[in-house]
Amino acid sequence: MEGSSEPPLDAKAEVTTQLIDFQWKLGMAVSSDSCRSLKYPYIAVMLKVADHSGHVKNKSFEMTIPQFQNFYRQFKEIAAIIETV
Side-chain half-sphere CA neighbours of 4 within 13 A: 6
pLDDT digits (tens, 9 = 90+) for 15-63: 788 999 999 999 988 777 776 667 789 999 999 999 989 999 999 999 9
Q: Specify the pLDDT at position 1.
A: 46
- Does residue 3 carry a pLDDT above 60? no
From the CB of residue 48, how many other CB atoms can be counted at a distance below 10 Å? 15
> Is residue 44 a contact partner of residue 23, using CB atoms and an 8 Å limit?
no
- β-sheet bridge partners, residue 70: none
> Is residue 39 a contact partner of residue 29, using CB atoms and an 8 Å limit?
yes
- Does residue 14 carry a pLDDT above 80? no
> Band of the pLDDT at 12, cuts 50, 70, 90?
low
